[in-house]
Structures are given as C-alpha cells and as structure tokens.
Amino acid sequence: MSHSDTVPLHQSSQSDIDEIESLINASVQSGPATVLPARPPSPPRASIPVVSSSPFIQSNLPPPPPLPSPNQKVPSVPAPAPPPPPSIGASGFGPVPNTLTEPVWDTVKRDLSRIVSNLKLVVFPNPYREDPGKALRDWDLWGPFFFIVFLGLALSWSASVKKSEVFAVAFALLAAGAVILTLNVLLLGGHIIFFQSLSLLGYCLFPLDVGAVICMLKDNVMLKVIVVSVTLAWSSWAAYPFMSSAVNPRRKALALYPVFLMYVSVGFLIIAID
C-alpha cells in the first residue's frame, strides 16, 4: 500500500490535466455534472484543429469524437450541439474527455449494463428475439469472454485430476468452436456478421454456466443429467432463431447441427467431469 495517493507530477502533465479540466468545466455549463476540478484552470494553449464534420460512419455516438469507440453508447455525454466556447483554446475535443477521465467504475458499470442487456435480449424470452437484426445490435465480446472463462474455471474446479488440461480443453473447444460455427454458416452461404455471431454464441453459453455451477456444488449424477439437459435445451433454444434465420431454409439443419453438437459436448463435459 502506498502511503501517499498523489505522486508529484511533471510540469507539462500538470498543465495537460489543467487543460482537460478546463474543458470539463466548459462542457459542464451545457451538460450533466462531472467531477469538478479542485484548482483553477491554467491559461489556454494552442490546440490541434479538428474538423467537425467527420468522415467516419455515424454510429450510436453523437458527432464526431476522434477516439475509436465504434459501438459504445456514452450515456454521460453532454448535449452534442454547441461546440465549447471559443475562449478555451482547444476547441475540437468535444465530449471525448468524459470517457477518458471518467471514473473507472463508470466504465465498468457501462460495460456491465451492456452485458446484462445483451443477456436479457438473447437468453430470456422477449419480443425482439425473432428479429436477429435487432436482437444483438449492440454486441460486445466481454460477455462471451467472461462466460467462456467462467465455464472453463467451473469445469476445472470440478475436476479431480488434470485440472489445467480440463480448462484448456474447455476453453479451446468453446473458443475455436464459436469461430468454426460462424465460419460454417458463412461457408454455407449464410449472411451473418462474424463478431455478432461470436458474441451470440458466447451469450448462449450462459445457461450452461448456470448448469455447471449447480453441478459443481452438488455431485449427484441424476441431478447433473437433469440440470444439464434442461440448460442444454435452454441454450439451444436461445441460439436457434439467430442461426436458423441466417441461412437458406433448405440448409437450416446443416447450420444448426454443429451448434447442437458443440452444446451437447459441453454438456457432456459438465456431466462427466467428476
């Protein structure tokens, strides 16, 4: 543990910080509150001019922060219309500093809420499930990553021997499996977006995660079989509309069978690991 929480800063970094805080001040006048700086802002410096009409494709973000965040919604961004007043030297940064200088908890909370909303869309019954375009528009890869690693950890924890090999096998199976399943749909002439499909297949692992945790806690074979069957059916039901609508209806079974195979093999791993 450090005994002082502030480290003495270099001269130039102090003025950078002051400048950023002054921008926050400026945007605070027109938007929601952010953290107010403790010291008065330093005099304005020359800035890099940024063209306000961006060549980038419009996404969920308000116009044009130059930082790459293609799919992030920024709920705490101030009203997009007025550029900061010209008395401040740096006129081009706009609402960007809020994602740079916001507290870490805000970033984490935003990602967590996105994971939860994606989960609700994919795995639980809701009116948007039949429309794959709408279902996972705001896809992300954090959720699938957590679920895959968690499933590997749960299986590795349950195993009595060769724990690291079990984790490796589970992780490789799920990660490579998701990629191969997506490639399978693309090769069959289907139309999906690669990362959206990876994201969906990862989210559909959530029921199997729940099943793995239950099986980890209670080691009865009959219970395991029942729990895994139920969660397997749930996972398959979650993945079905997305996969089946992505390909030609005559090839639906060809696209769905590998998904089913992957979930059955994961289910078998959950039951069999003792």
Partner 1 sequence: MQIFPPNNGGERGKGYQTLGSPPEGFEQQPENGSKGVFSISSYTQYFNVDTDIVLNRLMSSLYPIGGDFFSKIDANPDLYGLIWISTTLVFMLAAFGNCATYLMEKHSDSTTSWSFDVSYINLAAGSVYGYAIVVPVAFYFLLQYLGSNASLVRFWCLWGYSLFVFVLASFLLLIPVEFLRWIVIILAGSASACFVALNLRSYIAENLSLMVVAAFFLQFALAIFIKVWFFP
Binds partner 1 by CB under 8 A, chosen from 15, 25, 99, 265: 265
Number of neighbours of residue 48 by Cβ within 10 angstroms? 9
Indicate whether 64 belongs to the interface with partner 1 (CB under 8 A). no
The span from the CA of 22 to the CA of 44, in Å, is: 9
Q: Shortest distance, CB of residue 211 to partner 1, whole angstroms?
A: 17
The residues in 242-261 that bind partner 1, with binding defined as CB under 8 A, are 248, 250-254, 257-258, 261
Cα–Cα distances (Å) from 91 to 27, 52, 203, in that order, read 11, 10, 41
Helix (H) or strand (E) holding 256: helix 252-272
Indicate whether 161 belongs to the interface with partner 1 (CB under 8 A). yes
Choose between 87 and 160: whose C-beta lies nearer to partner 1.
160
The span from the CA of 126 to the CA of 143, in Å, is: 19
Cα–Cα distances (Å) from 137 to 72, 73, 134, 195, in that order, read 11, 12, 5, 11
| Residue window 175-214: x/- pattern of binding to partner 1, with contact defined by CB under 8 A | --------xx-xxxxxx-xx--------------------
| Residue window 83-102: x/- pattern of binding to partner 1, with contact defined by CB under 8 A | --------------------
Helix (H) or strand (E) holding 246: helix 221-246
| Contact residues: partner 1, CB under 8 A | 159-162, 165-166, 169, 183-184, 186-191, 193-194, 248, 250-254, 257-258, 261, 264-265, 268, 272-274
